[in-house]
Amino acid sequence: MRIGRLGLLGLATLVAACEEQPPVKIATYRVGGTVTGLAGGNLTLQLNGQQGLTRGADGPFSFETPLEDGSDYAVTVTATPPEQACSVEGATGKVAGADVSSVQVRCGTRTYTLGGTVEGLRGTLGLSLGGETLQVTANGGFTFATKLPRGGAYTVGVATQPEGQRCTVSNGGGTVAGNVTNLSVRCHDWYTLDTFQAASVVIGQGDFTSRAVNRGGPTGAGTLSNPVGNPAFAAGRLYVPDTGSNRVLGFNGVPSANGASAGFVLGQPDFPDFETGSGEQGLGSPEGLSSDATRLAVADTRNSRVLLHSTLPASTGATPSLVLGQESLDPTARLPGCGRTSLGLPEDVFLGGGKLLVADSANNRVLVWNTLPTTNGAPADLVLGQRSFTTCVENDANGDEVRDTTATATTLWNPTGVWTDGTRLVVADSYNNRVLLWNQFPTTHGQPADVVLGQADFTSRAPALTATGMNTPYTVASTGLQLFVTDSQHHRVLVWNALPTANKTPADTVLGQVDFTHATLSDPDTGTTPSGRTLNQPSGVLLTWPQVVVSDYGNHRLLVFQSH
């Protein structure tokens, strides 16, 4: 019996040993921390992308469901009060044998960035916002480091200008209602010139006191004969209309020495040639030139056409790709006309703002192509100075083909110069002794101008030798800020340091004369020879910073003035 009892006891012990042991309990801990700075609404936090927790005030917090020891944790912010931004310090880690209470959620007023874009910059520009000055060295986008809350007032200005430029800020002030992205900075070349300043270089003559046509000899690579119209500069080349020799001279850069020779010629087979021509290779008294940096346009005046080179000419014999004002480049197609596809002795052309403009001088109008033409004889889209494409009489406001007794804001008489930046438009209305400005680019035929220079009103047209008067203004050029006008019969170039917005605004600076009330041809004015300071019927101006290049018609030369 004893043995039996022992056996039963052993069996019970064996059975108990074979029963399942209870599981080991894994320790769990809660994740939490502290919220500070919360105001104006609720904050929602999330743990490991699952658990949510909402708080409406500062203080400690702890997620409800604990995590096992050794687990990774990550706390994120999923919602904040409308005008607060909250950041998490100690947001991630690993549970290590104790509750986590080190997560710090700090809330503060939401702030917004301020930025925008810069265009036209070629240097270093300093922009200011409060106590911050941001140095901008390239065109494109910019963003200040300073951030402001909703409702905060801001003013952005120019702290330092780039060398040789003036930059202006649009949309520079306001109240923050979100991220500010519309700050717009436009930089323009700026020319610092003195009244009666001397030129640094002369082209077409060997010195500043000579004035003979073709330097007193045959036509050559370094001579000029009555140059008329604006030169052009593109891709490192200077293009000069040598009107009296029926050609365009091409220089490799703006010359730095007097009497420089051109590198190539357009309109003639070689430098000694000067006869009037037509067709693909010829020119007849070319005047205004213009380039948009990739193309060259030529006002071929005597041939009543405008030639367009789709690539910039770089050698003698380069031919244009298309013609306006004529149906083709055929040498016999050279008749002037008054119509949508015709021209009458055009004296200037301008490429810019995606448009092509022509001063159709003998037709007393300006023609506008809203996109660059791609076919010969392409029709214009808009006419200014006339009511329609079929009337061409000077100062004819009602379109009855009879000259009116006065000029108006809608009429022109022998316009000879045009300029636009795609928004504003400037026209030299030469025989009305005035310059007209449109503040917004015209969209209808015969649209009236907004501002007149040279006259007190739109009906006056008498010349005057003053800072506000003109006598046969010939060409215009602008940086978008400064305006240059060749006041040809007063033998001077007038400069405004801002595009005028009021009639009869006086000029700020004059080149070619000692002041605004002289119109002399010699230096000294009792002498008989020109100098580097005088002009004789200037008829063209080119702005290529830091140089201002003036076509000095009566002295058979170009003068190069240097900004300082």
| pLDDT tens, the chain, 564 aa long | 444 444 444 444 444 444 556 667 899 999 999 999 999 999 999 999 999 999 999 999 999 999 999 999 999 999 999 999 999 999 999 999 999 999 999 999 999 999 999 999 999 999 999 999 999 999 999 999 999 999 999 999 999 999 999 999 999 999 999 999 999 999 999 999 999 999 999 999 999 999 999 999 999 999 999 999 999 999 999 999 999 999 999 999 999 999 999 999 999 999 999 999 999 999 999 999 999 999 999 999 999 999 999 999 999 999 999 999 999 999 887 789 999 999 999 999 999 989 999 999 999 999 999 999 999 999 999 999 999 999 999 999 999 999 999 999 999 999 999 999 999 999 999 999 999 999 999 999 999 999 999 999 999 999 999 999 999 999 999 999 999 999 999 999 999 999 999 999 999 999 999 999 999 999 998 999 999 999 999 999 999 999 999 999 999 999 999 999
- Residues 563 and 282: their CA atoms lie apart, in Å, by 36
pLDDT for the residue numbered 281:
95
529: tokens are 């020879």
Task: Provide the pLDDT for residue 334.
Answer: 72
What 3-state DSSP class applies to 460? Answer: coil
pLDDT at 353: 87
CA distances from 205 to 202, 215, 532 (A): 6, 6, 11
3-state SS class at 538: strand
C-alpha 350 chain-centroid distance: 15
Q: Which helix H or strand E contains 429, and what residues bound it?
A: strand 425-429
Helix, strand, coil percentages in the chain from 3-state DSSP, rounded to 5: 5, 40, 55
SS3 state of residue 457 = coil
What is the DSSP code (8-state) at residue 61? Answer: E
Residue among 140, 130, 67 at smallest CA distance from 98: 67
Contact (CB, 8 A) for 264 and 316:
yes
Whether residue 108 contacts residue 83, with contact meaning beta carbons closer than 8 Å, is answered with no
Residue type, 40: G
d(CA 61, CA 447): 71
In the numeric block, which tokens belong to residue 560?
């190069």
Is-above-0.85 flag for pTM? yes
Give the model's pLDDT for residue 333.
72
Neighbour-count burial for 174-194, b at 16+ CB within 10 Å, e otherwise: eebeeebeebebbbbbbbebe
In the block, residue with structure tokens 């009103």: 457
Beta-carbon neighbour count of residue 334 at 10 Å? 18
Predicted local confidence at residue 121, as pLDDT: 98
| pLDDT for 335 | 81
For 127, the enclosing helix (H) or strand (E) is strand 125-129
Paired strand residues for 129: 132, 156
The CA distance from 346 to 394, in Å, is: 15
For 308, list phi and psi in degrees, rounded to 5: -120, 120
The residue behind tokens 């911050």 is 132
Asked if residues 275 and 290 have their Cβ atoms less than 8 Å apart, the reply is: no
- pLDDT at position 21 is 63
Residue 366: CA count within 13 A, CB half-sphere: 36
Backbone angles phi, psi at 275, to 5 degrees: -70, 150
| Alpha-carbon 67 to chain mean position | 61
pLDDT at 12: 45
d(Cα 260, Cα 254) in Å, to the nearest integer?
9
CA dihedral (515, 521, 523, 528) in degrees, to 10, reads -160
User: Where do we find the tokens 């693909």?
Assistant: 280
Q: Of all helices (H) and strands (E), which one includes residue 170?
A: strand 165-170
**Omega within 30 of 0 (cis) for the link into 546:** yes
Q: Please name which of 115, 169, 170, 161 lies closest in space to residue 142, comparing C-alpha atoms.
A: 115
What confidence score (pLDDT) does residue 132 get? 98
Q: Where is 5: in which H helix or E strand?
A: helix 2-18
One-letter amino acid of 250: G
pLDDT of residue 552: 98
C-alpha span between 556 and 227 (Å, rounded): 6
Phi, psi of 239 (to 5 degrees): -110, 125
Task: Let me know if 522 is exposed, middle or buried by CB neighbors in 10 A (0-12, 13-18, 19+).
Answer: middle
